[in-house]
A and B are shown apart, each in its own frame.
Chain A
Amino acid sequence: MFPDKAVAEGLGQAAQLAEVQGRSLWKDARIRFFRNKAAVVALYMLVAICIFAFFGGWAAQHERDAIDFALSGPNAYKGVPSFATGHYFGTDADGRDLFARTVQGTRISLLVGIVGALIAVIVGTLYGAISGYFGGRTDGAMMRTVDILMSVPYMFVLILLLVIFGKSILMLFVGIGLISWLDMARIARGQTLTIKNKEFVEAAVAIGVRPMTIILRHIVPNLAGIVVVYSTLLIPGMIITESFISFLGLGVQEPNTSLGALISRGASQMQYGVIWQLAFPLFFFIVTLFAFFFVGDGLRDALDPKDR
């Protein structure tokens, strides 16, 4: 019996000495998220779309701007999707490979969405947290600025911007970045107002932590849940905005393309029996948006503290 007891005691002591790894709220949320089937499927689809957008070019048999004159113009109906010719998705009205163009279009649309959301997350969260934490006149001035920017007819300004500074992807990023953070700033500020009255923030003030450190260490991590959810729902909004601008012909310029531009071209050709020119870009557009919405929903359920 003695050796057993000694072993048991040794084990007990080892268990006490070993550091226990805590389960953070993030880890809890991750577990809840992966239990949500729809969200997980959507996440896999999103990963697949990203792989398609960033590595699909290697599978393409043709350059995205190489024109196959045999399949262009009135002959476009010959450019049906086929593995034999290497035009997996067929060709567009100009005889260019639609597969290569869809890959590039998806990439641009994803980039616009992600860059727009990133600007919103970084600028909007910090702006809102600072405004809400300091309160008083600072808050008043900062939030009135947001109100003024919001009341400017933004599509008009964006179109002016693109006309004056030239139509380029960079200008599109600037234009979308300028407005995307406004809503995020308001959401972050509202949330900060409730967090800053919690006792742990008061404890940090009493300890003597500097205000900016309090914002970064105590407020922003507690905002992160709502910010993550909102930004996954913001990305599709950005993609739609970009598509609309490209649809108007002001966004991405030839030979580059985006999903919006491809859909616009496909829609104008659909009466000529070349429905694939609309169907393929539209399919990727819808799948991307749905995937983002489902992931966003899953994240919201996972991070919602009320479910705990």
Chain B
Amino acid sequence: MSTILSVQDLAVTFDVRPRGAWPWSSPLKLHAVGDVSFDLAAGECLGVVGESGSGKSTLARAIVGTVPSSHGKILFEGHDLAAMNVSQRRVHRKDVQMIFQDPLAALNPRMPVGDIIAEPLITHAPQTPRAEVKRRVAELMERVGLLPNLINRYPHEFSGGQCQRIGIARALILQPKLVICDEPVSALDVSVQAQVVNLLRELQRDMGLSMIFIAHDLSVVKHVSDRIVVMYLGRLMEQATARRLTTDPRHPYTQALISSVPIPDPVLEKTRRRPVLEGELPSPLAPPSGCVFRTRCPRVQPDCAGARPAMVDLGDGHGVACPHQVPMEAIAPA
């Protein structure tokens, strides 16, 4: 399979000025994403998991281009998106589309949904005849499970799940090559979540899309992704195929994440032992030296504060950014 997207050493930092500081004092650096590298094959779905504040959404925004990256490369079909100027980048935007977390907030409340879905089309192909635009909008609405006769309705007249379908239709009307879903289901209730996730999977298969699927819910990510990367405080902790990551996690953070997923069996749930993470996420304004996870790691060693651990390849695409990695059975026998 060919690589469609290759992210290399991507870093995103924001300048933060403390409240009440002088306008000329030098701003603090907030390290939202640091040294993230991964490849995405065409037609593949990559899951990104991590707790709130781990930089998942910033990573998505840097790839889509609504947030500037401060270092590293984003190679999309061999072209570095990060190095492009504004007008070159605008042309490439039609190949990379995004689906947002809050379905209602992502739709302009003053526009009928037909216009919302058609917006990418009239932006990138303004000479398309109106009848053709309308036909494609209706076709796509049907495809995502909306009645095409609702084309003149406004976003507030739809439910959350329907709004997310509108967002999906808008992302797909240009037939993009890569779709980035930023927690597309976390604002929806569970029954609707399943419908939307299944719709996304179906569309991905039918249209041959590559997809980056961001969520903090590991069970949803496992269901849709071929491969999963785990992020913590802006850095990659582990990457592997979905199956391997969930059955044989090696990084202590991944192990904690996996054991935090509840088991739908009260007896098993009560008796199992699991590593519980203590404390809070450290401030991204001053991330810990060495391994960023060391302040909360249950198996922390003195040398963790030294150099940043490199991604160790365990073969078969399984990488772990921890030199002290052990299989899960070694610490919590089932």
A interface with B by C-beta (< 8 Å): 16-26, 198-200, 202-210, 213, 217-218, 221-222, 224
Q: Given that A207-B123, A208-B90 are known contacts, is A24 also in contact with B154, CB under 8 Å in the complex?
A: yes
Q: Does B283 contact A (CB under 8 A)?
A: no
B112 touches A199 (CB 8 A): no
Q: Does B93 contact A (CB under 8 A)?
A: yes
Q: Given that A21-B152, A25-B109 are known contacts, is A209 also in contact with B119, CB under 8 Å in the complex?
A: yes
Q: List CB contacts (< 8 Å) of B135-184 with chain A.
A: 147, 149-154, 156-157, 167, 170
B153 touches A199 (CB 8 A): no
A209 touches B123 (CB 8 A): yes
CB contacts between A and B, total, < 8 Å: 89
Q: Which residues of A contact B110 (CB under 8 A)?
A: 24-26, 221-222, 224
A208 touches B93 (CB 8 A): yes
Q: Which residues of B contact A224 (CB under 8 A)?
A: 110
B149 touches A18 (CB 8 A): yes
B interface with A by C-beta (< 8 Å): 61, 64-66, 90-91, 93-94, 96-98, 100-102, 105-113, 119-120, 123-124, 147, 149-154, 156-157, 167, 170
B contact face: mostly helix, strand, loop, or mixed: mixed
**C-alpha gap A213/B120 in the complex (Å):** 13
Q: Given that A21-B152, A200-B108 are known contacts, is A207 also in contact with B66, CB under 8 Å in the complex?
A: no
Can you offer 15 A-B residue contacts whose CB atoms are under 8 A? A19-B152, A20-B152, A22-B112, A22-B152, A23-B154, A23-B157, A24-B112, A203-B107, A203-B170, A206-B64, A206-B93, A207-B170, A208-B120, A210-B90, A217-B111
Q: Which residues of B contact A200 (CB under 8 A)?
A: 105-109
**C-alpha gap A70/B130 in the complex (Å):** 70
Give B173's nearest chain A residue, CB to CB. Answer: A207
CB distance from B68 to the nearest CB of A (A): 12
- The 6 A-B pairs at the shortest CB distance, nearest first, are namely A22-B153, A208-B93, A221-B110, A199-B106, A199-B105, A208-B90
Give B60's nearest chain A residue, CB to CB. Answer: A206
Q: Which residues of B contact A21 (CB under 8 A)?
A: 152
Give the contacting residue for A208; candidates B124, B150, B152; CB below 8 A: B124
Give the contacting residue for A207; candidates B105, B111, B112, B120; CB below 8 A: B120
**C-alpha gap A150/B107 in the complex (Å):** 37
**C-alpha gap A17/B150 in the complex (Å):** 10
CB distance from A133 to the nearest CB of B (A): 14
A20 touches B149 (CB 8 A): yes
A16 touches B93 (CB 8 A): no
Q: Which residues of A contact B153 (CB under 8 A)?
A: 20, 22-23
**C-alpha gap A202/B170 in the complex (Å):** 13
Q: Given that A23-B154, A23-B157, A205-B66 are known contacts, is A199 also in contact with B102, CB under 8 Å in the complex?
A: yes
Q: Which residues of B contact A206 (CB under 8 A)?
A: 64-66, 93, 96-98
**C-alpha gap A21/B120 in the complex (Å):** 23
Q: Which residues of B contact A26 (CB under 8 A)?
A: 110
Q: Given that A199-B101, A203-B100 are known contacts, is A208 also in contact with B149, CB under 8 Å in the complex?
A: no
CB distance from B185 to the nearest CB of A (A): 15
Give B123's nearest chain A residue, CB to CB. Answer: A209
**C-alpha gap A224/B111 in the complex (Å):** 13
**C-alpha gap A121/B119 in the complex (Å):** 27
B108 touches A218 (CB 8 A): yes
A25 touches B156 (CB 8 A): yes
A22-B113, A222-B109 known, 15 other contacts, Cβ within 8 Å = A20-B153, A21-B152, A22-B152, A22-B153, A25-B154, A198-B105, A199-B100, A203-B170, A204-B119, A206-B64, A208-B123, A208-B124, A217-B111, A221-B108, A221-B111
Q: Which residues of B contact A23 (CB under 8 A)?
A: 153-154, 157
B157 touches A222 (CB 8 A): no
Q: Which residues of A contact B157 (CB under 8 A)?
A: 22-23
**C-alpha gap A230/B290 in the complex (Å):** 56
Give B94's nearest chain A residue, CB to CB. Answer: A208
**C-alpha gap A111/B171 in the complex (Å):** 47
Q: Which residues of A contact B66 (CB under 8 A)?
A: 202, 205-206
Q: Which residues of A contact B109 (CB under 8 A)?
A: 25, 200, 222
